[in-house]
Amino acid sequence: MLSGKGGGNLEIQNSLALCDDIGNRYARRNEYEAEVLALQAELAKADMAEKAVLKNRLKTLRQNRHNHAYNLKLAAFRVAEKQFLKKLAEDRKQQAAALDGSLPKRLRQLQLRLFCSGKKADFYGQYADLSWDTKLVHEQSRLEYQQLPEVIETYARAREELWEAKARIAALSGPEQTAALKVFKEQKKAEQAKYRQAVRKLKEKQRNRLISTKALSNGIQELNKKRQEADLKNSFALERKSLSEIITNKRFIINTGTRRQLKVLNSNISDLRRRIPVERRLRVPLFAFIGLFMPGLGQVLNRQYVKAALLIIGTLFIYIIAIPYALGYSNYQGRGLAGLVSLAAGARRIDKSLIFMIEGIVAIFMVLGASAILAFNFQDVFKTQRAAIRGIRPNNWFETRVKLETDGFPIMVSLPAFIVTAFIVLVPITTALLLSFTGMDPQNQSKFPWVGIANYATIAMGRGLAGSVFWLILGWTLVWTLVSTSMAILTGFGLALLANQERIKGKAFFRTVYLLPWAVPAFITIMFFSIMFAPNGALTEILESMFNMRIHVKTDPTLSRTALIMLQTWLGSSYVFLLATGVLQAIPGDLYEAAQIDGASTWQKLFKITIPIVLFQTAPLLVGQYTFNFNNFSIIWLFNGGGPFSPTKYGNLAGTTDLLISYIYKLTMNNQYQSIGAAITIVISLGLMAFAYIGFKNSKAFKEERL
């Protein structure tokens, strides 16, 4: 029974113990709170018969809390502390008036801080065992009283020596400086003569083959270094030079050295705060809920005033900018979130649904930003107060700043870029996404309604003028992407293999020729072939003379598509050639020699060594080539404008060589089917993201975490 009670008491004591930042456990010094918490812990485990007794004891203890021995001592201390702080403020004013007014403000502040820390160390030393807070103030004041004199002495001594050096420079006479400068120049000439003589000796040794050319170069560098060191040493004989160095050094000590000493002091104080726990009466983190909708309030209650000031800026953003804008205030035309729902339905004739939508989207991002601030505020206060309940003190500003400079540095660097990205990238993407669920078409440009998934159904079912040609264009786009990109990759890789062969002569010439399609702007190449394949173009005339028949490439769908694929093969092969050439030149020759010894054939070396290594290095970039060609707008538009046109199959919205990207352009810019264009954009974006993800995920470089 006794052992059971002893075990229970030990368990209760452990549950009531405080802990510091590194897990050390401490007994509570607030004897009244310790008794209350112990009774509450016993009450939670007691049976029905004991609960009534424990409740009465707890009630009596709380009713007589003002007469509790510990609370009486605490009340007496607070009275004494109030009188002491009042007296300290008066003494500080007198001490400030007694200080030399000619001293720098910073030095006077340090002296006043030393004066106050000495007084506090004496006063709080009498009450150091009363609570953990009094112990912290005592230890902190004692630490400051020990370390501040060294900081003050360093500052004062450096300042005194700085003024002495300045006075000596001002007192320097002209003749003395002229004479010293003359001596320095003579010494410099002597060092120069010694240097030249030594260099001549080294060169003579090299001519006699006693030392190598490399040894001669190293020797000259060493002699030059010694000459410069001698000149620097002799320059300090000039009093002005030495005094200037002293002034620079003392300014560094005053501006940087003392800051470092104070940083060490603050770091030592931080260590004290981590080792000395805090006692809080609250057992639940109420501050987090009190300041839930008022960022900064919880930090004020936790006595983190600088952090509170920063979060108050967030509060101003929430209640002055974000929420009013979301409610429609300060909008250009829209009505915030409500305008995003209505899309200007029933609004003025000059109001436009698109502007209502964009301003509603901006309002959404502002609300999300406000929500992020509120969430961060709640999490920060909750974690801080929950740690304080356990005994861990909240970080002061020095500790918070150090943490921001280390752990928070990536977040601080990324935050501005994220905000810019949200408004430059995410807002347009969100606009396109929401626009795809509306009915913006040629008949509904100024005002348009929400239509749900009607646009996606039109595309999927192939209905209407815009949706009927989608699948035809998608099929050609897939063929174009796979064939043109694959042929460009094979051509570029094949040319790289040829240019890398040892038996090929004039490699530099061939490599230059193979890079020409990449070096010459694609715009020029595409327009050149477009003109050459025109009905009266040179290539059309050549083909007619060769085959004795008129071949119209730009008016025949099959020939136009073939010409485009061949042209893209030519344009895209150079990039692949450049990638493959770099990888091939980096493959060690030992691999091929070992394979040759093992009896591998040329094809086996190609498929077992060359291709796997090249694909390992270039696979992610080759995946990017497929996604680029899927949206290769320029070649389609510049070569033939998407033609030739077939109104019976494609209507007046697209041509037989149009890709989805050029089809979207014609839908939106030429025919004003913005909603269906947005829907197609979302579909192909999701498809490309899925393709790129699968391609990257299945590449060996991705699997081995080389990306």
Host H or E run for residue 19: strand 18-19
Residue 394, preceding peptide bond in cis (omega within 30° of 0):
no
CB contact set of 263 (below 8 Å; sequence gap of 6+): none
Q: b vs e for 154-187, b when ≥16 Cβ sit within 10 Å of the residue's Cβ?
A: ebbebbebbeebeeeeeeeeeeeeeebeeebeeb
**Beta 18-19 vs 25-26: how paired, if at all?**
antiparallel
Phi, psi angles (nearest 5°) of residue 441: -140, -175
Phi, psi angles (nearest 5°) of residue 25: -105, 145
What whole-number distance in Å separates Cα of residue 628 and Cα of residue 575? 13
Residues 512-560 pLDDT 10s: 777 788 778 888 889 988 898 888 888 888 877 887 777 788 888 899 9
C-alpha closest to that of 148 among 249, 252, 266: 266
Length of the chain: 707
Please report, for residues 23, 236, 269, the alpha-carbon distance to residue 274 in angstroms, rounded to integers and kept in the order given: 10, 49, 9
What whole-number distance in Å separates Cα of residue 558 and Cα of residue 657? 9
C-alpha closest to that of 466 among 456, 454, 477, 458: 458
Q: Residue ranges of the alpha helices (H) in 208-345?
A: 213-235, 239-252, 258-275, 286-290, 297-301, 305-316, 323-326, 336-342
Instruction: Look up tokens 């918490």; give the residue.
Output: 37
The number of beta carbons lying within 10 Å of the beta carbon of residue 213 is: 8
Q: b vs e for 397-415, b when ≥16 Cβ sit within 10 Å of the residue's Cβ?
A: ebbbebeeeeeeeeeeeee
Q: What share of residues in the chain are helix, strand, coil (percent, to 5)?
A: 75, 0, 20
The separation between the first and the last C-alpha atoms of the chain, rounded to the nearest angstrom, is 65
What whole-number distance in Å separates Cα of residue 626 and Cα of residue 575? 13
C-alpha closest to that of 628 among 678, 697, 692, 574: 692
DSSP per residue, 342-411 = HTTTTS-TT--HHHHHHHHHHHHHHHHHHHHHHHHHHHHHHHHHHHHHHTPPPP-HHHHHHHHHHTTHHH
Question: What torsion, rounded to 10 degrees, do the Cα atoms 123, 129, 130, 133 define?
Answer: 80
pTM as predicted? 0.75
The number of beta carbons lying within 10 Å of the beta carbon of residue 78 is: 10
pLDDT of residue 234: 74
pLDDT of residue 702: 60
Which parts of the chain sit beneath pLDDT 50? Answer: 1-8, 707
Residues 327-359 pLDDT 10s: 989 888 888 899 999 998 888 888 899 999 999
pLDDT of residue 12: 52
Give Rg (Cα) of the chain: 41
What whole-number distance in Å separates Cα of residue 635 and Cα of residue 565? 10
Q: Are 520 and 567 in contact (CB under 8 A)?
A: no
Q: Are 106 and 259 in contact (CB under 8 A)?
A: no
Q: Which amino acid is at 138?
A: H
Residue/partner pairs of 262-271 with CB below 8 Å, 24 or more apart: 262/151, 264/147, 265/143, 265/144, 265/147, 265/148, 265/151, 266/398, 267/398, 268/143, 268/147, 269/140, 269/143, 269/144, 269/398, 270/396, 270/398, 270/399, 270/402
